[in-house]
Amino acid sequence: MTGAEIIVQVLADEGVDTIFGYSGGAILPTYDAVFVYNEKAKRENRPQMPLIVPANEQGAGFMAAGYARSTGKVGVCLVTSGPGATNTVTPVRDCMADSVPIIVICGQVPTSAIGSDAFQEAPVASIMGSVAKHVFLVTDPTKLEATVRTAFEIARTGRPGPVVIDVPKDIQNWRGTFQGSGSLPIPGYRHRMHRLARNVLTEEQLALFFEMLGQSKRPLIYAGGGVIHSGASQALREFAIEYQIPVVTTLMGVGSFDTTHPLSMRMLGMHGAAFANYSVEDCDLLIALGARFDDRVAGNPAKFAPNAKHIAHIDIDISEINKVKAVSWYHAGLLPEALRALLAYGRRVGFRSDWNEWLEHCAELKRQHAMNYDRNSSLIQPYYVIEEINKLTRGEAIITTGVGQHQMWSAQYFDFKHPRLWLTSGSMGTMGFGLPAAIGAQIANPDKLVIDVDGDASIRMNFGELETVTTYNLPIKVMVLNNCGDGMVKQWQKLFFKGRLAASDKSLHTKDFVKAAQADGFEFAVRLDRKEDVPRVVKEFIEFKGPAFLEVVIDPDAGVYPMVGPGQAYDEMITGDFIASRHKTQIKPPDESQMF
């Protein structure tokens, strides 16, 4: 086989059923190998490996990420050298930040030309080395097959992440024997993975955990994205329901626990529900699962969970333990196995506890501090639109978002009954994520309803992917909540910069979203600007057979509340005019050392 054919065959062996990418000179041999593979598969009536072409390589990276986030499988992105590779830097970093497994295979100039500033050359290994889980530059063609196979192993094991393979053109054209097995020697990494797998909870650890749980009057589970990535959602649900422990989730943990379940306290953090944050304030035992106490959750670590006598922490990454918040009990290992061990031990010793008073308290928090907004406004409120969509989707749709106010409104007002329905850029906060991620998710889940809830500023970042939706006739629903500018930035400017809207108010721009969507082939392209039309238009939008685009002109002053300012504690949370607060708060601007 040629090196290019070897790459494609390993992809097939690894179960890859879709590739996302944009071609170019340095990757042409591999694109040709994909074409030949698919032609042969067609003749032999075998599954093909379709190649989805975006408008931009960044789109390809986010499509691979949407595919991976919605399935748990490794997404694959295939791009050319130079700008093709550098355009994927943002999705690679995004996947690293949110622990998402993708493989980026990029062409490179021939090995003899590396370092000569050849046409479309970029130092991919140097650039990607700081943002990916691992980077391979293949210079020995006999190691190509093992390298590709090892890349998949690294991407999907441990804490998942992106792996980049830089393949010079002469390596793709080389001919050699396909071995069909084998991987690179990576003894240090495999030793850590084996140690994690062997690191099971001991009887003493189990006994100590249940001793803490038995002493607790107000236990609370704090679930992060690691619950979803590790496949521990079912184990979490069994554990929480068995012992009747309420659950709060991070932005990345949304969907790990059914938001419609009585034990769900929904999302905590900077824009978490007030009742979720108050439950964190009130708990006396916090059980952190696959979460990392990041700054969006624990803006002021010293004041986070101030009444917790004990904090327990389970995570696959030992570096996360005691990194931000000191804990009383921890386990660095596989989360599903750890939860099953805890459940089995509790059943074995007949553990029982009565937390009815705490459960009633949490239920009362949800009643007293429920999400709310100005329901009498004559302007279209974004929360109202999402509530109307939620009535139709009932927690079963895949929702992707860009980044900004619309992202937080979606997290707050949509229901998610299962994991991998909520796809958003968390740690990196990458605008432009929503549309290409929806494409990847729809390709991976052809029978599911996929909705991209986007902002007028965020969708502009990858607006060219609208044409990708119609090119492949994907029945994605794209909704733009248009408030004429960078809504979240404007909210911060109003709160902390005396209303000076520096470069964030785009109301003078002349973009006609509906005409643009029509030009890209959307047969359903509608502008919604009357409140009385919301239920009807939303229903038509969701039920339309095929790609649909909806622009909603919303109240430009609608804000995201609650809001905990950067570096501040939950007792300083701003709840706005329509959500009850139990603290008198004063808006304080962040100081020089605090983040956005």
Catalytic annotation, residues: 57, 119-120, 169, 488
Task: Give the integer Cα–Cα distance in Å for 306 and 127.
Answer: 41
338 token code pair: 């750890």
Query: Alpha-carbon dihedral of residues 227, 231, 236, 238, nearest 10 degrees?
Result: 170
Q: Which helix (H) or strand (E) holds 135?
A: strand 134-137
| 3-class SS letters over 244-289 | CCCEEECCCCCCCCCCCCCCEEEECCCCCCHHHHHHHHHCCEEEEE
Q: Which residue, 357, 240, 398, 364, is CA-closest to 248?
A: 240
Distances in Å between the Cα of 213 and the Cα atoms of 54, 202, 207, 209, 244 are 51, 17, 10, 6, 12
- Compute the half-sphere exposure of residue 190: CA atoms within 13 Å on the CB side of its CA: 8
Conformational region of residue 355, where left means phi above 0, alpha means psi within -120 to 50, and beta covers everything else = alpha
Query: Alpha-carbon dihedral of residues 182, 185, 186, 192, nearest 10 degrees?
Result: 80
Distances in Å between the Cα of 40 and the Cα atoms of 19, 36, 43, 173 are 17, 6, 5, 20
Longest dimension (CA), the chain: 72
Task: Give the integer Cα–Cα distance in Å for 245 and 213.
Answer: 10
Q: Which residue, 100, 37, 97, is CA-closest to 69?
A: 100
Beta bridge partners of 247: 221, 264
Task: Give the integer Cα–Cα distance in Å for 385 and 233.
Answer: 29
- At residue 463, the 3 state secondary structure works out as coil
Task: Give the integer Cα–Cα distance in Å for 445 and 67.
Answer: 8
E-assigned strand segments in 360-456: 398-401, 422-423, 450-455
Task: Give the integer Cα–Cα distance in Å for 134 and 155.
Answer: 8
Task: Give the integer Cα–Cα distance in Å for 420 and 436.
Answer: 16
**319 Cβ neighbours under 8 A, 6+ residues apart:** none
- Compute the half-sphere exposure of residue 69: CA atoms within 13 Å on the CB side of its CA: 39
Task: Give the integer Cα–Cα distance in Å for 128 and 578.
Answer: 46
Q: Are 470 and 548 in contact (CB under 8 A)?
A: no
Beta bridge partners of 17: none
